[in-house]
């Protein structure tokens, strides 16, 4: 028994159907444009002729197969239809859209060819074989084009992964502020819609297990030796925090929300948070947000100025013996933390409230306006915020 259904069709049937081939091609192209959404409005100078040529070659080849047991496609035809699949991928049309176009072609071909065969009084048995031949043949074409689409998709994913990494690097390097056209070109190549807002997060690999979990598809990742950097669009979208941290056992340090031109700032903040966590100045677990630690970031941004602030806070107690200096420094830190509430200070330091009053008299005598003015209190608060251990001792 022959392997292909068209081998059972008489050669004379091909001659009968040949006159309706041009109108069948035209009807197929029109139906694809009208019925497959991905092709609506895409009938430009490239797409229309490509589809028309593909339909012409396919239907002509099919008529040539009648009465033979040849394979559906020659090697040349196979390359052509593989290329159609890859071109459709490059044009941004899905595999489902491509297969829908083939299904439409099979239906229209059967409608036109069967009508012509009936008019020529073709035997019912031959009509049945004709139907089978059309749909088997189109299935084989579909499979070849699907292979081309899949190969292009695989290659495209590898290419897009590289481009996505380049795009993420460009954003955190501040390229969007200097060369927005370059970022837009990379985003287009990566098929990444440029968002109105984003954040940059740093994920230390030491806490991520053997490998980083898969990030959401719209998150750009740049992997470094010690950590990974994530560019997260729409950072306040529902469930974003949970999706970003799913599968992680350690912290994620997140900069402030910025427009794309501010991605470098968000990245700088995320790195600063990571470093502050290492020294114990901010939490080192869970999602650590820059917006929750702006004072810590402020004092960390200029260590020279912060050193001057620390020196200014140390000076009033510098002449005291070590233990006495330490006691008053602890009391000063408690005064800052508890906003002068004597009872809360006494409870924190485990001393009697009268002891607090006695110490505060000494501190006010030494600090004067530094404790009494808003600017002075701000300096004391900044010194306290910048301390790794939370105690603004003056002898460091």
State the pLDDT at residue 212.
Answer: 53
Quickly tell me which residue has 């009208």 as its tokens.
34
359 pLDDT above the threshold of 60: yes
Q: Are 17 and 130 in contact (CB under 8 A)?
A: no
Structure tokens at 43: 């009938």
Q: How far apart are CA 203 and CA 230, in angstroms?
A: 8
Confidence of residue 47 (pLDDT cuts 50, 70, 90): low
393 pLDDT above the threshold of 70: no
Entry field: residues in the chain:
396
Burial zone of 169 (CB within 10 Å; 0-12 exposed, 13-18 middle, 19+ buried) = middle
State the pLDDT at residue 34.
Answer: 87
State the pLDDT at residue 395.
Answer: 43
Confidence of residue 396 (pLDDT cuts 50, 70, 90): very low
112 pLDDT above the threshold of 90: yes
Q: How far apart are CA 96 and CA 298, in angstroms?
A: 53
Q: What top-level class would CATH report for the domain 5-158? A: mainly alpha
Q: Are 164 and 227 in contact (CB under 8 A)?
A: no
State the pLDDT at residue 367.
Answer: 87
301 vs 46, which has greater pLDDT? Answer: 301
> Kind and range of the H or E element at 124?
helix 124-172
- Count of alpha carbons within 13 Å of 217, Cβ hemisphere only? 6
DSSP symbols for 189-219: HHT-PPPS-EEEEEEEGGGS-SSPPPPPTT-
Residues 371/374/376/378 CA torsion (nearest 10 deg): 110
Confidence of residue 294 (pLDDT cuts 50, 70, 90): confident
291 pLDDT above the threshold of 80: yes
State the pLDDT at residue 352.
Answer: 92
Beta strands 252-254; 287-289: pairing state: parallel
362 vs 375, which has greater pLDDT? Answer: 362
Confidence of residue 64 (pLDDT cuts 50, 70, 90): very high
Q: For residues 188-207, give the mean pLDDT.
A: 86
Confidence of residue 245 (pLDDT cuts 50, 70, 90): low
Q: How far apart are CA 255 and CA 181, in angstroms?
A: 24
Give the rounded percent of residues in the chain with a pLDDT score beyond 70. Answer: 88
Structure tokens at 141: 């074409």
Residues 105/110/113/118 CA torsion (nearest 10 deg): -160
Q: For residues 243-251, give the mean pLDDT.
A: 65
325 pLDDT above the threshold of 80: yes
DSSP 340: T
Task: Look at residue 353 and give its three-state secondary structure.
Answer: helix
Q: What mean pLDDT is reported for the chain?
A: 84
* Most confident listed range (62-66, 148-152, 203-207): 62-66
2 pLDDT above the threshold of 60: no
The CA radius of gyration of the chain, in Å to the nearest whole number, is 36
Domain regions of the chain by residue span: 5-158, 195-301, 303-385
Confidence of residue 388 (pLDDT cuts 50, 70, 90): very low
327 pLDDT above the threshold of 70: yes
DSSP 292: G
Q: For residues 35-59, give the mean pLDDT.
A: 77
């Amino acid at each position: 028994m022959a392997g292909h259904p068209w081998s059972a069709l008489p050669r004379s049937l091909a001659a009968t159907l040949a006159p309706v081939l041009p109108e069948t091609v035209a009807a197929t192209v029109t139906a694809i444009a009208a019925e497959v959404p991905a092709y609506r409005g895409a009938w430009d100078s490239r797409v229309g002729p490509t589809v028309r040529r593909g339909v012409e070659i396919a239907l002509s080849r099919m008529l040539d197969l009648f009465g033979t047991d040849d394979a559906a496609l020659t090697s040349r035809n196979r390359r052509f239809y593989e290329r159609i699949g890859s071109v459709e991928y490059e044009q941004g049309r899905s595999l489902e859209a491509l297969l829908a176009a083939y299904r439409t072609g099979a239906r229209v071909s059967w409608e036109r060819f069967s009508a012509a065969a009936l008019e020529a009084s073709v035997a019912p048995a031959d009509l049945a074989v004709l139907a089978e031949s059309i749909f088997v043949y189109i299935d084989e074409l579909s499979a070849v084009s699907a292979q081309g689409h899949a190969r292009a998709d695989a290659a495209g994913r590898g290419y897009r992964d590289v481009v996505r990494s380049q795009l993420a690097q460009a954003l955190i390097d501040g390229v969007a502020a200097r060369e927005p056209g370059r970022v837009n070109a990379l985003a287009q190549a990566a098929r990444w819609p440029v968002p109105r807002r984003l954040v940059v997060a740093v994920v230390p690999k030491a806490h991520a297990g053997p490998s980083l979990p898969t990030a959401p598809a719209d998150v750009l990742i740049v992997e470094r030796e010690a950590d990974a950097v994530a560019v997260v669009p729409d950072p306040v979208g529902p469930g974003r925090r949970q999706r970003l941290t799913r599968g992680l056992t350690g912290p994620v340090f997140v900069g402030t929300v910025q427009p794309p031109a501010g991605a470098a700032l968000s990245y700088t903040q995320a790195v600063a948070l990571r470093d502050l966590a290492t020294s114990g100045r901010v939490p080192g677990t869970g999602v650590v947000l820059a917006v929750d630690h702006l004072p810590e970031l402020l004092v960390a941004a200029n260590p020279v100025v912060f050193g001057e602030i620390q020196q200014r806070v140390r000076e009033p107690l510098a002449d005291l013996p070590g233990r006495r200096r330490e006691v008053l420094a602890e009391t000063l830190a408690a005064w800052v933390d508890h906003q002068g509430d004597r009872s809360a200070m006494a409870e924190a330091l485990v001393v009697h409230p009268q002891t607090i009053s006695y110490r505060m008299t000494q501190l006010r005598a030494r600090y004067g306006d530094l404790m009494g003015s808003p600017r002075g209190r701000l300096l004391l608060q900044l010194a306290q915020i910048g301390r790794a251990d939370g105690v603004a001792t003056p002898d460091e």
